[in-house]
């Protein structure tokens, strides 16, 4: 189950190996242990462009999922091997949301990763309230299975220096 990770940010130091291992654990917990996943962490400007291009919403969002499988595997059948899809996460938005919710940026990143993977698996909280509740329960179950979340990111803060 290869996980292809791409990080195109400089303000954040991402611990690649722990993030890839977490993604592998999420895939396994979601019943997609043999699947491949592309995971990309990007900034807000690029996320806004993607959201505008693919969802016709001209705003930043936290996570987008782009499935590559044409058909969803029926429940009870073994999942297919191959590329499940792409999960794209806006790391600045994740950090902002984590602060607002009073949780760590690492936990927020894990939650968004699980959310994106479930979208790739066919879950859609925007369909109706029942689907939203079903997806939320599945997210919580997977998060419990992959906890504790390791240290994944460090935010590089810019130090201001005073002129003497």
Distance CA 17, CA 69 (A): 26
Kindly give the confidence (pLDDT) of every residue in the chain, 164 residues in length, as a single tens digit, with 9 standing for 90 and above: 699 999 988 889 999 999 999 999 999 999 999 999 999 999 999 999 999 999 999 999 999 999 987 545 555 555 556 899 999 999 999 999 999 999 999 999 999 999 999 999 999 998 999 999 999 999 999 999 999 999 999 887 655 555 54
For residue 109, which of 4, 16, 2 has the smallest C-alpha distance? 16
Helix (H, G, I), strand (E, B) or coil at 131: helix
Q: What's the rounded Cα separation, in Å, for the pair 139 and 61?
A: 18
**Range 3-152 classified under CATH 1.10.15.40:** no
């Amino acid at each position: 189950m290869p996980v292809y990770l791409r990080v195109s940010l400089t303000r954040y130091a991402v611990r690649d190996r722990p993030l890839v291992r977490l993604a592998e654990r999420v895939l396994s917990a979601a019943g997609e242990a043999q699947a491949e996943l592309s995971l990309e962490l990007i900034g807000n400007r690029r996320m806004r462009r993607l959201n505008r291009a693919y969802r016709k919403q001209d705003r930043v969002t936290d996570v987008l999922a782009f499935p590559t499988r044409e058909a969803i595997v029926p429940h009870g059948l073994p999942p297919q091997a191959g590329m499940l899809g792409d999960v794209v996460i806006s790391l600045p938005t994740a950090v902002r949301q984590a602060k607002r919710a009073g949780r760590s940026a690492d936990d927020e990143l894990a939650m968004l990763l699980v959310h994106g993977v479930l979208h790739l698996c066919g879950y859609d909280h925007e369909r109706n309230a029942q689907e939203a509740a079903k997806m939320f329960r599945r997210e919580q179950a997977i998060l419990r299975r992959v906890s504790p979340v390791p240290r994944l990111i460090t935010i590089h803060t810019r130090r201001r220096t005073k002129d003497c």
